[in-house]
């Protein structure tokens, strides 16, 4: 939905395209909420919804709906966005820690209530939710989640952050350990944290900019950007992946006049090959990188 509305901004996509995606979202909302089932599985010829949500997806849907109301007004998208934003705050936030939780399943009764996914630190989204609703708690969430991210960044010279972190009662963030939440790479810069450079670069927040620039300094020193790193900077796997390169390309493009031009050149390989047909994550981030880079720099890439 976010790609469709960004394409619509540039007259590369239509309201019809966006509405088809919106209809899919509406059909696959969780019972008694506006949150979306994070996964649909084909079982015996019918789509069945996984009964839990994923906060990052819900926030991007809300962003898309807010923007769609500006691009194609009069279709009820803003009202949809308000309902979804309200449910994100109600069902996907930890009010004492001031974080967005990883999903509605990570509630007060869950061991995972104090887990923060670093790719849920979306300062631009929080700013947009505040501007739309006037609810200042979104600014408080933005500020506190960036503080946690800064704590994680400061723990290593690389500035890298893990996929997941635990938040203590003292409001201190510490990296998750292997398999704490989802995978053996929970405590590494892996398939969730890889989006952080792009998400931070989308905002003009000073703290967000400082965090992403520290990461870019590390990436600039690497001959190859591998598919993940330990927080101390050791490559996890001996190959590259567009899902890691694309967000770095976006962030480096924003700051290319501050010494990151070579990093831009190094990572633009992602646009020189066809979009992968069997890896939606890579394909999505490549297209999002192209659209976001245009927004941040004003240049066609």
pLDDT tens digits along 257-292:
999 999 999 999 999 999 999 999 999 999 999 999
CA-to-CA dists, residue 180 to 55, 111, 162, 186, 301, angstroms? 18, 10, 12, 7, 39
Residue 5 phi, psi (nearest 5): -75, -35
Query: What is the percent of the chain with per-residue pLDDT over 70, rounded to a whole number?
Result: 98
Average pLDDT over residues 165-176: 99
Establish if 40 belongs to a structural domain: yes
For tokens 């899919």, the residue is: 24
- pTM metric for this prediction: 0.95
Name the helix (H) or strand (E) containing 173: strand 173-175
57 within 8 A of 100, measured Cβ to Cβ: no
Q: Is the pLDDT of residue 188 over 80?
A: yes
Average pLDDT over residues 38-63: 92
**Minimal CA–CA distance to 34: which of 75, 87, 105, 79?**
87
Establish if 38 belongs to a structural domain: yes
Domain count, the chain: 1
For tokens 């590369």, the residue is: 12
* Distant-in-sequence, close-in-space partners of 51: CB < 8 Å, separation ≥ 6: 30, 31, 37
Of the two residues 157 and 43, the one the predictor is more confident about is: 157
Ranking 37-41, 46-50, 264-268, 270-274 by mean pLDDT, the lowest is 46-50
Tell me the C-alpha distance between 195 and 292, whole Å.
12
176 within 8 A of 116, measured Cβ to Cβ: no
Pairing of strands 46-49, 40-43: antiparallel
What per-residue confidence (pLDDT) applies to 297? 64
Tell me the C-alpha distance between 72 and 291, whole Å.
19
Average pLDDT of the chain, as a whole number: 96
Domain that holds residue 11: 1-91
Q: Is the pLDDT of residue 299 over 60?
A: no
* DSSP bridge pairs for 165: 116, 175
Establish if 209 belongs to a structural domain: no
Establish if 77 belongs to a structural domain: yes
Tell me the C-alpha distance between 200 and 123, whole Å.
7
Question: Annotated catalytic sites, by residue?
Answer: 56
Ranking 124-128, 147-151, 273-277 by mean pLDDT, the lowest is 273-277
Average pLDDT over residues 173-181: 99
Establish if 85 belongs to a structural domain: yes
Q: Is the pLDDT of residue 157 over 80?
A: yes
Query: What is the percent of the chain with per-residue pLDDT over 90, rounded to a whole number?
Result: 93
Q: Is the pLDDT of residue 301 over 50?
A: no
Establish if 224 belongs to a structural domain: no
What per-residue confidence (pLDDT) applies to 298? 53
Establish if 193 belongs to a structural domain: no
pLDDT tens-digit map of 199-227: 999 999 999 999 999 999 999 999 999 99
């Amino acid at each position: 939905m976010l790609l469709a509305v960004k394409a619509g901004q540039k007259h590369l996509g239509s309201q019809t395209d966006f509405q088809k995606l919106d209809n899919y979202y509406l059909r696959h909302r969780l019972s008694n909420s506006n949150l979306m089932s994070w996964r649909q599985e084909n079982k015996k010829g019918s789509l069945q919804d996984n009964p839990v949500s994923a906060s990052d997806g819900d926030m991007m849907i809300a962003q898309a709906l807010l923007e769609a109301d500006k691009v194609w007004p009069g279709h009820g998208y803003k009202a949809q966005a308000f309902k979804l934003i309200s449910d994100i705050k109600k069902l996907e936030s930890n009010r004492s820690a001031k974080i967005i939780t990883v999903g509605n399943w990570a509630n007060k009764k869950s061991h995972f209530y104090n887990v923060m996914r670093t790719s849920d630190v979306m300062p631009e989204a929080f700013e947009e939710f505040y501007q739309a609703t006037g609810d200042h708690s979104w600014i408080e969430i933005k500020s506190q989640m960036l503080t946690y991210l800064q704590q994680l960044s400061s723990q290593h010279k690389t500035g890298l952050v893990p996929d997941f972190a635990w938040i203590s009662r003292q409001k201190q963030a510490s990296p998750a350990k292997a398999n704490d939440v989802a995978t053996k790479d929970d405590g590494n810069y892996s398939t969730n944290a890889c989006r952080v450079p792009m998400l931070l670069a989308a905002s003009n927040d000073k703290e967000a900019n400082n965090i992403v620039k520290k990461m870019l300094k590390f990436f600039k020193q690497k001959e190859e950007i591998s598919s993940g790193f330990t927080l101390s900077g050791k490559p996890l796997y001996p190959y590259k992946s567009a899902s890691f390169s694309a967000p770095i390309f976006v962030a480096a493009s924003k700051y290319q006049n501050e010494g990151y031009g070579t990093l831009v050149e190094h990572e633009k390989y992602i646009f020189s090959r066809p979009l992968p047909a069997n890896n939606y994550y890579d394909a999505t981030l490549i297209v999002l990188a192209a659209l976001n880079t245009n927004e941040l720099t004003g240049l066609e890439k």
